[in-house]
Amino acid sequence: MKVTIQDVNFNADQSLIEFVQNRIHKMEHFFDHVIDVDVFLKVENTSDKENKIMELKVHVPKESIVVTKQCKTFEEAADTACSSAERILKELKEKRRKMA
């Protein structure tokens, strides 16, 4: 699985990139046919404390899943976005299993 990470409006440090990559690679346990994942890390210029946005685009055969989460930290956003994507992938796997 190929993971592409883009940081918007800031420069992500190496530890954040490694954390996001490790968290995303755990998704393979739920669905084997993930082709690639595009990750967009953004910082909104607002006075709101929850200004860290993570957008995941998970590409699987015949479909793409998009999950966007906004939190106080990128680690929290990565965790919640990956959890949501894992839930969607589980549902997709069950749906495809029933159709086969």
Compute the distance between CA of residue 42 and CA of residue 39 in angstroms, rounded to an integer. 10
DSSP classification of residue 31 = -
On whether the pTM is more than 0.95, the answer is no
Q: What average pLDDT score do residues 41-49 get?
A: 85
At 3-33, the pLDDT tens digits run 999 998 888 899 999 999 999 998 888 888 8
pLDDT of the residue at 48: 79
CA distance linking residue 100 with residue 98, whole number of Å: 6
Domains of the chain as residue ranges with CATH: 2-99 (3.30.160.100)
